Structure 1
């Protein structure tokens, strides 16, 4: 076997190990168990040592940053709404709300939420302790804002209001999602329609 072929085989084995670690990390985080936010726990689930995690990702900061980057790559970057052209503002907002609502029930969303709960809440502390993870989260925020801007790009809307809506929607949708998992008499379909119509009215107002 040539040196090049041997190196190729090692690279493939390393890529497979890295992929297995990322899959294990997502499976652990998607359980919602706070104890899952542990590099050692992920290593055990992946059947590797902590040394292997360090070799692939450097440290726990590198691991969580890689998980977020992997999810972003799998999602394909900013969301797109190909049917939005010629739709009203309200129809576009409803489409975004529906997409977020469905996405919050996916394992990837649960994994992200589990990780975020365990991270420092203060931005300065997060950036100091886990700079690569903080950078990856910031990239997610940029991607989300781009999604909202793109969804209304052909309309004459106040760009500041679009940014405000982008800041509001994730938290509002998580609040409705939390309500869905509690004993409630709230009509959540009605709540989502009301949210979408309120946002559409705000975006459509001028002045």
Structure 2
């Protein structure tokens, strides 16, 4: 192996390490919930780097935010891809999805996502114009989530439009329950989750 090859590989490893540090710094900063944390300059400083280094690794702020979001998607991959066992009941499958989202939406990654999304344009056309790669990453989540739900019920005789309806409803419903928990609701949220599970099972079974 030539010396040039060794140096090149070391440079690549250093570059990957720098990239990883920036992504982790971004997620840590964004998870604080501070609106001011949605700043590439601040995140670069937290990572001991510069904005120029961020641009070198990710191209621009759009590429950076897209990479941050993609990192969180990688961590979630496979959590709900298949039933725990072939005979798992419909009630158990729905309940497992609801419980996973209920607890997952309180994670540091979820807080980081919410903080970042709050700073991005709400209008899809504007988001796609200003942050095309970030918009594409977010759009891919919708497709992946639907596919996850389809796999969860694939061996059951359930109408596809029913699965799609449940996939559309659950994320928003769980964000509402998580918000209630964070606000210190007096409501019994365990009962709320079980009631939602029963309602969705009835809908999928009808």
TM-score (norm 1): 0.94
Kept in 1, the 8 Å contact 2:83–2:93? The answer is no
Query: RMSD over aligned Cα, in angstroms?
Result: 1.4
Quote the residue 1:190 is aligned against: 191
1:45-60 equivalences in 2 (<5 Å): 45-60=46-61
Following the alignment from structure 1 to structure 2, what is the Cα–Cα distance between the partners of residues 42 and 61?
14
Quote the residue 1:112 is aligned against: 113
Structure 1 residue matching 2:84: 3-state secondary structure: helix
Gaps of 5+ in 1: none
Instruction: Measure how far apart 1:77 and its partner are.
Output: 5.0
Following the alignment from structure 2 to structure 1, what is the Cα–Cα distance between the partners of residues 120 and 184?
28
Kept in 1, the 8 Å contact 2:22–2:44? The answer is yes
Instruction: Measure how far apart 1:88 and its partner are.
Output: 2.4
| Range that drifts further, 102-111 or 70-79 | 70-79
1:23-172 equivalences in 2 (<5 Å): 23-76=24-77, 79-172=80-173
Gaps of 5+ in 2: none
Following the alignment from structure 1 to structure 2, what is the Cα–Cα distance between the partners of residues 144 and 31?
26
Instruction: Measure how far apart 1:121 and its partner are.
Output: 0.8
Following the alignment from structure 2 to structure 1, what is the Cα–Cα distance between the partners of residues 96 and 16?
37
Following the alignment from structure 1 to structure 2, what is the Cα–Cα distance between the partners of residues 185 and 24?
36
Instruction: Measure how far apart 1:73 and its partner are.
Output: 2.1
Kept in 2, the 8 Å contact 1:84–1:151? The answer is no
| Range that drifts further, 171-180 or 83-92 | 83-92
Flag as ranges the 4+ runs of structure 1 deviating above 4 A: none
Quote the residue 2:16 is aligned against: 15
Following the alignment from structure 2 to structure 1, what is the Cα–Cα distance between the partners of residues 15 and 76?
23
Following the alignment from structure 2 to structure 1, what is the Cα–Cα distance between the partners of residues 80 and 189?
24
